[in-house]
Each structure stands twice: as structure tokens, then as C-alpha cells.
């Protein structure tokens, strides 16, 4: 007996020793990311709020598909992050339908009121679009977008996908870290409107971290939509309340602007980048800027330069300037402007534009090119389901809390997307009635062989440049989707000049080397929301395995669907 005990102890000690070696080896495996990817054979929802991701995952568990889950998650986001998005805003989505093997784009951006015009605004003394108030309010497209997506792809009804959001709006939710900061930053804007202050503030102050916030008015609006579909928003009591607000504020919104509105299906545009195909939505969005950046970056050997090296960052920053100059010059509503899409995406055009990138010196005065003519704030989420359907989904108020205006009893702000219009009559983006403005928000996909990734990174004009960096991190530097989302980024929120923001997590003496080239660098520490926040899901169609990633620059999470087997019930 004693001999057996000694043998057992020796075996146990050997096991601990081996485990120690394995543990030491594991500790030696350094990695660039702070958290692991979520990996599952079932569906995954990645959003900026764990509550929203959980709501979407539960819809998947109850037999819904990726589209159903995306709308459920987004509806919750409109409750818990009202500064960034809401049913008073616009949305865009790209859906990958596994059965047909095709991509479908939805443009649910609203148009300016028929009574709005450049002449009217200039007669009021305006020389540029205001950011707040009634003038930048366009017809919100989000709710019509929900309906179009459900009617074409959904398995659930509107009342089923909105149920979690309604419950959270009624019962309340605890304010998270980022949300508390952004509530506090917008107190003065909200105080300027009695209805906005009543909806979002608590005794005139911002809700605090961990404090429970309820929005019974938003629950009422969501319930109207759950029962009456999109018509409840565009032809019902919600419409009347919005029109009453517009009339009081001296706006031009009319009933026909809402009843005539319809979102539109659009074919995604694409380019190739070192063997991958990257998809974006076509104009009136800035996604073409991300594709043009990639075409320019492809002319340089970034893998040999190194991840976030001075040479790599220099090329990416210069490519951003060139691409964005074209976006500003050419992009508007394609129904009212001739936009040289194929010319801007031409590899030959990229080759000519790339010659303007001087590897030794930053260009501070970049202008648009001449392509061959063709014939804030935001929330982003992505979903993949167990059948391989995928959704890349983005929605926004534009500025935080949009126009700052809330129609009495509705519980949501009207967005200010019209602030992106130009008052220059020569611009393709000049404001006009029933015209859609240039949009900053963009959903995206990338694919190669049996791998497909739905991704997006929000943050106003940050988005196209962040998309290009995310793609480069994966393609050029072999990062997984979580590492690519976390890696330090640059952003240049302006069009002119050499100013650039850079996260301090870049290695080495990058700041000094970029400044030696003429870049004017402002460093941000840690994970700064100045660089946007993103989400991504990926599917390996060869194995049927799904992956999820969530950006630490937000409060969110990628949450997998839980399948409860019969023996566990």
C-alpha cells in the first residue's frame, strides 16, 4: 500500500512538472492582442454593448437568422447608446446570403425635405451647414431599413426582434463606462432642449456610471413600430410628433417627405488587395475612399516595412490624403451627380496617384485627381449565424445626440446628417430637396478563398482610413481579427494639412521619424475613442467555424449563441 502511494506521488509530481513546463512555454508565447477571439460553431453577435450582443444572440437561439439578430441588437443599441445612434438616424447594411452566395447592400439614408434648398439657407445668412437644430435634420431612414431587411431576409417578425429593446427601455439599464463619459460631455446640448433634457438627463445632470436609466417614451415609440411596422414611423403618430417639432422650430419637414420615403437596395462596390476582395457600399458613402486607399497602399511593399513602422504609417497617411481629396471632390447623391466610381477604383488611376507619395516627405497640400469618367457619431455591429449568413451593419446620429432635438413623447433625438451637405452650389454634395447627403458611415466585408469577414469601425471621417488599416493588418501582417481591431491606429480627421493623430502603443521612435518627414503628430494614450471603435465577425466556410472580435475602444463584446441540448433542459 505504501509502495503504491509513493508511485502515485511520483506520477503526480511528474504531472505537475510537465504542467509547469507547458505553462512556462505558454507564458513565453507573446501576442499582440489583449483578449482572445470568440470562437464558436454557432452564431456570434459583436456589438458595442454586451446587452445588445446578448439580445442578438438570444434571437439566434430562438431560431432567428443573422438579419433578425442584427436588428434586435441594433434596437437595443438605440436604447443604451442614444448619443451615437437611434431610430431618428440612418443605417446601411451589407448582407451576405449563404444560400445564394451573394452580397446585398441596403442604403437606408434619408433625404432632405422637399422644401429645403441651398437658396433658402443662404438667404438666412448661412455659409455652411449648421451642426444642430432643425436645418440639418433629414428624414430618418433606420426604421424603413429595418423593415426592408426583415421583409427580404428575416425569419422573425418586427415585434419579436424589438421585444428586448422595449423591455430594456422600460426596465432601465446601468450606464457603462464610455456611455457615462459621453452623456457628461453633452449636458449643455441636452439642456438646450426641454424635451431632450427630460428624456436623457436626471434632475438636469448627466446619468452617472452604473446609474439605472429608463426611457419610457422610447419604449412607446418602439412599441408603435413593433405593432405597426415602418408605417408607424412614417405615417403614424410618431410622424405627427416629429412634424409638430419641425413646425415649432421653423423647419421644412412635411408629411410627404416621410410617406414618400423608401430605402434602397444597392450593389456593393469592391477592389482587390493582395489577393483579397474588399467590399464597401457605393456613394453617397465614403467607403470608396477606403478602397482607393487600398489601391494606393498596394503599390508599396508594406509587409517588408513592418507593422506600424514609420514607412508603413507614412504610406498609409499619404494614401489617406489622396483618397479623401477625391471623396470630397466627387462624392454626393448618385441620383443627382455623375460620380466616376469606376475611374476612382481603377488600378491604373491608383498607379498614377501613388507617384505623388514621396517616401521622404509628407504632402500638406493634397488635391483631387482626375479619374476617367464612369459610364462622430455611430454604432457598428456584425453578425454571423450558424448557416453562414452574415451582416455588416452600421447606424448613426452623425454628431453625438444629432440635432439635439427630441419630438415630445418620442424618446429619441433626430439626427443631423444634413450637416454633411455643402452650401457650395458647385459641389456634387450641394444641398437640395429630396437629396441624400454624403455619408461617413460605412459597413464592409472582405473575403479570400473560404474566409469571409464582416467588419466596421465607426468614428466619422475616421472610418475609411480605419477600414484600410484593418485590412492591411490582416493581409499584410497576418493578424487575426481581434489583434487587427486592437492594434494602434492613426487617424487624420481633417482633409488639409499634415496633422495626424496617433495612438502611443506604436513601437519604437515612430513619432520622431514621422515628424522628420513633415507630419505633425499628436499622440493619444491607451485605447482612445478618437480612433473609433469596431466590431468584426469571421467565418471559415471550410470548417463551419465562426469567430468574433470586439474593440476595447468601446464597451462592447462578441457573444456567441448558446445551443441548449435536449439532455441539458
Q: Per residue in 50-103, pLDDT tens?
A: 999 999 999 999 999 999 999 999 999 999 999 999 999 999 999 999 999 999
231 grid coordinates: 408605417
Query: Mind listing the pLDDT tens digit for each residue in 26-45?
Result: 455 677 789 999 999 999 99
| pLDDT at res. 376 | 53
Query: CB-based contacts of 248: which residues, under 8 Å, 6+ apart?
Result: none
Mean per-residue pLDDT for 391-395?
Answer: 96
Say what the pLDDT of residue 507 is: 85
Structure-block grid coordinates of residue 326 = 477625391
Does 158 score more than 80 pLDDT?
yes
Confidence tier at 360 by pLDDT (50, 70, 90): very high
Task: Provide the pLDDT confidence category of residue 292 given band limits of 50, 70 and 90.
Answer: very high
Instruction: Give dist(CA 157, CA 124) in Å, integer.
Output: 45
pLDDT tens figures, 429-463: 999 999 999 998 999 999 999 999 999 999 889 99
Domains of the chain and any CATH numbers: 44-265+378-420 (no CATH), 287-330+340-373+460-531 (1.10.246.130)
Query: Where residue 222 falls among pLDDT bands split at 50, 70, 90?
Result: very high
Say how far residue 375 (Cα) sits from the centre of its chain. Answer: 30
Say what percent of the chain tops pLDDT 90: 85
The answer, yes or no, to whether residue 260 has pLDDT greater than 90, is yes
pLDDT band at 377 (very low <50, low <70, confident <90, very high): low
pLDDT at residue 371, rounded to an integer:
85
Contact criterion met (CB below 8 Å) for 232 and 238: yes
Asked if 341 contacts 280 with a C-beta cutoff of 8 angstroms, the reply is: no
Q: Distance between CA 458 and CA 378 in Å, rounded?
A: 6
- Please state at what angle helix 66-80 crosses helix 216-228, rounded to 10 degrees: 150
Tell me if residue 252 is catalytic.
no
Question: Cβ(418)–Cβ(435) under 8 Å?
Answer: no
Alpha helices, DSSP H, located in 83-157: 118-123, 142-153
Q: Is 13 exposed, middle or buried (0-12, 13-18, 19+ CB in 10 A)?
A: exposed
Mean residue pLDDT of the chain comes to: 92
Q: Are 415 and 88 in contact (CB under 8 A)?
A: yes
Rounded mean pLDDT of 238-243? 98
Whether residue 171 is predicted with pLDDT greater than 70 in this model: the reply is yes
pLDDT computed for residue 24 by the predictor? 44
**What's the CA gap between 527 and 504, in Å, rounded?**
9
Question: Can you give the pLDDT at residue 312?
Answer: 98
SS3 for 267-297, per residue? CCEEEEECCEEEEECCCCECHHHHHHHHHHH
Residues 477, 483, 488, CA angle at the centre, nearest 5°? 85
Q: Is it the case that residue 245 has pLDDT exceeding 90?
A: yes
Residue 564's pLDDT band (cuts 50, 70, 90): low
Which position has the grid cell 447594411?
Answer: 93
- Looking at residues 501-505, what average pLDDT do you find? 95
Q: Three-state DSSP class for 25?
A: helix
* Contact assessment for residue 72 and residue 56, using Cβ atoms and an 8 Å cutoff: yes
Four-residue CA torsion sign, 242, 243, 248, 251:
positive
Please state the pTM of the whole predicted model.
Answer: 0.92
Contact 278, 291 (CB under 8 A): yes
Phi-psi region at 133: left, alpha or beta (left = phi > 0; alpha = psi -120 to 50): left
Dihedrals phi, psi of 531, to nearest 5 degrees: -105, 15
CA distance 424 to 431: 8
Q: How confident is the model at residue 309 (pLDDT cuts 50, 70, 90)?
A: very high
Task: List the catalytic residue out of 176, 252, 378, 440.
Answer: 378
Q: Which pLDDT does position 332 carry in this prediction?
A: 87
Closest CA to 345 of 373, 366, 321: 373
Residue 113, pLDDT above cutoff 70: yes
Average pLDDT over residues 374-383: 75
Which cell goes with 329? 471632390
Radius of gyration (C-alpha) of the chain in whole angstroms: 24
For 473, counting Cβ atoms within 10 Å of its Cβ (0-12 exposed, 13-18 middle, 19+ buried), the class is: buried
pLDDT computed for residue 402 by the predictor: 96
Q: Which long-range contacts (CB under 8 A, 24 or more apart) does 265-273 make?
A: 265/104, 265/105, 265/106, 265/107, 265/148, 266/105, 266/106, 266/107, 267/105, 268/94, 268/103, 268/105, 268/445, 269/341, 269/345, 271/295, 271/345, 273/297, 273/298, 273/471, 273/475
Kindly tell me if the per-residue pLDDT of 5 is higher than 60.
Answer: no
pLDDT digits (tens, 9 = 90+) for 520-561: 999 999 898 889 999 999 999 999 999 999 999 999 999 999
* pLDDT band per the 50, 70, 90 thresholds, residue 565: low
- Alpha-carbon torsion 414, 415, 417, 422, what sign? positive
Starting at the edge strand found earlier in the chain, the sheet holding 534-540 runs: 38-40, 545-550, 534-540, 451-457, 444-448, 276-280, 269-273
Length of the chain: 569
Instruction: Examine the pLDDT at 105 and tell me if it is beyond 50.
Output: yes
Averaged pLDDT for residues 454-475: 95
Amino acid at each position: 500500500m505504501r509502495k503504491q502511494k509513493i508511485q502515485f506521488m511520483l506520477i503526480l509530481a511528474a504531472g505537475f512538472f510537465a504542467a509547469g513546463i507547458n505553462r512556462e512555454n505558454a507564458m513565453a508565447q507573446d501576442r499582440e492582442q489583449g483578449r482572445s477571439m470568440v470562437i464558436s460553431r454557432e452564431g456570434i453577435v459583436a456589438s458595442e454593448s454586451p446587452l445588445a450582443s446578448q439580445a442578438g444572440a438570444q434571437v439566434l437561439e430562438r431560431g432567428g437568422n443573422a438579419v433578425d439578430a442584427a436588428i434586435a441588437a441594433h434596437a437595443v443599441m438605440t436604447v443604451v447608446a442614444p448619443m451615437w445612434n437611434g431610430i431618428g438616424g440612418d443605417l446601411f447594411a451589407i448582407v451576405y446570403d449563404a444560400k445564394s452566395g451573394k452580397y446585398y447592400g441596403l442604403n437606408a439614408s434619408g433625404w432632405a425635405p422637399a422644401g429645403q434648398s441651398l437658396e433658402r439657407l443662404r438667404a438666412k445668412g448661412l455659409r455652411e451647414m449648421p451642426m444642430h437644430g432643425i436645418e440639418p435634420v433629414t428624414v430618418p431612414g433606420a426604421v424603413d431599413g429595418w423593415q426592408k431587411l426583415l421583409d427580404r431576409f428575416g425569419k422573425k417578425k418586427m415585434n419579436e426582434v424589438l421585444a428586448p429593446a422595449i423591455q430594456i427601455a422600460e426596465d432601465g439599464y446601468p450606464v457603462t463606462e464610455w456611455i457615462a463619459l459621453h452623456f457628461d460631455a453633452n449636458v449643455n446640448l441636452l439642456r438646450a432642449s426641454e424635451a431632450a433634457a427630460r428624456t436623457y438627463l436626471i434632475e438636469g445632470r448627466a446619468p452617472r456610471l452604473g446609474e439605472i436609466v429608463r426611457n419610457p417614451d422610447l419604449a412607446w415609440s418602439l412599441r408603435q413600430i413593433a405593432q405597426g411596422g415602418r408605417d408607424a414611423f412614417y405615417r403614424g403618430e410618431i410622424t405627427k410628433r416629429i412634424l409638430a417639432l419641425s413646425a415649432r422650430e421653423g423647419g421644412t419637414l412635411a408629411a410627404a417627405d416621410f410617406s414618400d420615403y423608401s430605402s434602397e437596395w444597392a450593389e456593393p462596390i469592391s477592389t482587390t488587395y493582395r489577393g483579397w476582395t474588399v467590399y464597401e457600399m457605393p456613394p453617397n458613402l465614403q467607403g470608396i475612399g477606403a478602397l482607393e486607399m487600398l489601391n494606393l497602399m498596394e503599390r508599396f511593399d508594406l509587409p517588408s516595412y513592418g507593422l506600424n513602422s514609420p514607412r508603413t504609417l507614412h504610406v498609409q497617411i499619404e494614401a489617406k490624403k489622396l483618397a479623401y481629396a477625391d471623396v470630397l471632390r466627387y462624392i454626393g447623391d448618385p441620383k443627382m451627380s455623375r460620380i466616376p466610381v469606376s475611374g476612382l477604383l481603377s488600378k491604373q488611376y491608383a498607379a498614377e496617384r501613388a507617384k505623388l507619395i514621396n517616401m521622404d516627405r509628407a504632402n500638406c497640400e493634397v488635391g483631387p485627381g482626375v479619374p476617367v469618367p464612369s459610364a462622430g457619431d455611430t454604432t457598428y455591429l456584425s453578425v454571423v449565424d450558424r448557416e453562414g449568413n452574415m451582416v455588416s451593419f452600421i447606424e448613426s446620429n452623425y454628431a453625438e445626440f444629432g440635432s439635439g432635438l427630441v419630438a415630445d413623447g418620442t424618446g429619441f433625438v433626430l439626427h443631423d446628417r444634413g450637416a454633411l451637405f455643402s452650401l457650395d452650389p458647385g459641389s456634387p454634395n450641394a444641398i437640395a430637396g429630396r437629396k441624400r447627403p454624403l455619408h461617413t458611415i460605412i459597413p464592409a466585408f472582405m473575403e479570400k478563398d473560404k474566409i469571409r469577414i464582416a467588419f466596421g469601425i465607426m468614428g466619422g471621417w475616421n472610418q475609411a482610413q480605419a477600414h484600410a488599416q484593418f485590412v492591411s493588418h490582416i493581409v499584410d501582417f497576418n493578424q487575426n481579427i481581434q489583434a487587427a481591431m486592437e492594434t494602434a491606429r492613426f487617424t487624420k480627421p481633417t482633409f488639409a494639412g499634415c496633422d495626424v493623430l496617433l495612438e502611443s502603443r506604436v513601437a519604437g521612435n515612430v513619432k520622431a521619424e514621422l515628424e522628420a518627414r513633415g507630419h505633425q503628430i499628436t499622440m493619444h494614450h491607451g485605447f482612445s475613442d478618437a480612433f473609433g471603435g469596431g466590431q468584426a465577425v469571421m467565418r471559415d466556410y471550410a470548417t463551419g467555424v465562426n469567430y468574433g472580435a470586439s474593440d476595447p475602444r468601446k464597451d462592447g463584446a462578441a457573444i456567441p449563441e448558446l445551443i441548449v441540448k435536449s439532455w441539458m433542459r
